[in-house]
Chains A and B, each alone.
Chain A
């Protein structure tokens, strides 16, 4: 009974999915292995680095620390669902234009944390941004440019340049 597959119905990047998963499958495993959405990174796997950050019902959460079955009936957005077709999201655009990407490993998690912040608080202060991406480690220590890029994106989304 312990490895009996259970039904998981949820939406990922606006698309409904119905899967059968093991109870111990993490949201991260299902996104990467079942749905082949490998933009969400497997980093530390112990809820320390933030590379696996996705948005669940609009909130930033760590996909390595949530059972996939806990996403039942909920909406997940991963880095693959952030751009509008070929048009990058203002956060992505600002990160590219501002040189806020180092090796790129942590970038998807950074974008997802920033996206959740701007959904909740479209006019964040610099401190709000720092707090929002605090749980996202960058091994290259590229934090300043990440924070500046989110600031630029927030301004752009507010209609400024």
Chain B
């Protein structure tokens, strides 16, 4: 690893001033669970690290029935996984965190660090996409909010300007009769997903039609991938087994996944089809179970 300068500001204000002063020469480290690995490979060699891990004002989970869920960017994966209010109101997030990585990594890694790393294989992003989440970003000029879907620009590249910090993830309350699910192909529980899928389905209990669907995939493109093609197969129809299979095929058809030691492009395409079908089926069952 190359040498770098280092400072650990005490609060968000100080962190933003320092990042602004550094211009493009500063890089933020939170838990560093993904970043240190690529720094050791010299894939990333920042001149200066701004360590925000100790900023406690960004470590929180707030829930309000009308406004939804607000998670501070420096909340650890473990805190999210174990949060009673998240288990109760957004169980898909606990489900995702439980599979995210081994416990040592979940204990130290933060949700904001994970999102800003911009790895298309990351699990939280696809779950937040199907939960329709927004990100709150703070800089010297003030705050802005964006759809999480628009945050991802390319492999390991996100929409953050020098001097900006992701401060919060906002998840709206789910509409009634809505279910969400996440699953990924992994050799061992906690491994990085070779392909992952998340789905949210809303049904009209009167006639059983699907009134809303959001489907997203991880590790199939250079950014997290939302599959509107698969969603469009389901919306407005009564979902059957055949329709779920068709949604899987629609998602897979538009992909040209990367190949690596874990799977060829063709294998990932097949797995994308399977995981979209299965995940959407679980989400549908959960939506229907709400009566």
- In the complex, whether A108 has a CB less than 8 A from a CB of chain B is no
Q: How far is the CA of A131 from the CA of B103 in the complex (A)?
A: 8
Which residue of chain B has the shortest Cβ distance to A1 in the bound complex? B5
Contact A46 B3 (CB under 8 A): no
Say if the beta carbon of B33 comes within 8 Å of chain A.
yes
Q: Does A161 contact B (CB under 8 A)?
A: no
**What's the tally of chain A residues with a CB closer than 8 Å to chain B?**
31
Is A60 a contact of B107 with CB atoms below 8 Å?
yes
Identify the closest chain A residue to B6 (Cβ): A23
Kindly list chain A residues whose C-beta atoms are within 8 Å of the C-beta of B104: 47, 50, 53, 60-62, 113, 135
- A1-51 CB contacts (< 8 Å) to partner B: 1-4, 6, 22-24, 26, 45-47, 50
Asked if A67 is an interface residue, CB under 8 A from chain B, the answer is yes
Contacts of A131 in B (CB 8 A): 103, 189
Asked if residues A46 and B51 are in contact (CB atoms below 8 Å), the reply is no
CB atoms of B32 and A3 under 8 A apart: no
By a CB distance below 8 angstroms, the chain B residues around A113 are 103-104
Range class of the B interface residue count: 20 to 34
Q: 8 Å CB contacts to A: which residues of B8-49?
A: 8, 29, 32-33, 36-37, 40, 47-49
Q: Which of B3, B32, B103 contacts A70 (CB 8 A)?
A: B32
> Are A67 and B37 also in contact (CB < 8 A) when A24-B3, A62-B104 are?
no
Partner of B29, one of A1, A2, A3, A67: A67
Chain B 93-115, CB-CB to A under 8 Å as 1, else 0, gives: 00000000011110110000000
Contact A72–B8 (Cβ < 8 Å): yes
Q: Which of A23, A46, A60 contacts B37 (CB 8 A)?
A: A46
Task: Tell me if A82 counts as interface (CB < 8 A to partner B).
Answer: no
Q: A53-B104, A59-B107, A134-B189 are in contact. Are A2 and B37 (CB under 8 A)?
A: no
Instruction: Tell me whether B108 and A67 are in contact (CB under 8 A).
Output: no
User: How distant is the Cα of A56 from the Cα of B108 in the complex, in angstroms?
Assistant: 9
Task: Tell me the bound Cα distance from A24 to B107 in angstroms.
Answer: 21
Q: Does B1 contact A (CB under 8 A)?
A: yes
Give me 18 other A-B pairs in contact (C-beta within 8 A), A70-B8, A134-B102, A134-B103 excluded: A4-B5, A26-B36, A47-B36, A47-B104, A47-B105, A50-B102, A59-B107, A61-B107, A62-B104, A65-B32, A66-B36, A67-B29, A67-B49, A67-B51, A69-B8, A72-B8, A131-B103, A134-B188
18 residue pairs of the A-B complex, CB under 8 angstroms, read A3-B3, A6-B6, A23-B3, A23-B6, A23-B49, A47-B105, A59-B78, A60-B107, A61-B104, A66-B32, A67-B32, A70-B32, A70-B53, A131-B189, A132-B103, A135-B102, A135-B104, A135-B190
Nearest first, the 3 A-B pairs at minimum CB distance are A135-B102, A23-B6, A59-B107
Residues of chain B whose beta carbon lies under 8 Å from any beta carbon of chain A? 1-6, 8, 29, 32-33, 36-37, 40, 47-49, 51, 53-54, 78, 102-105, 107-108, 188-190
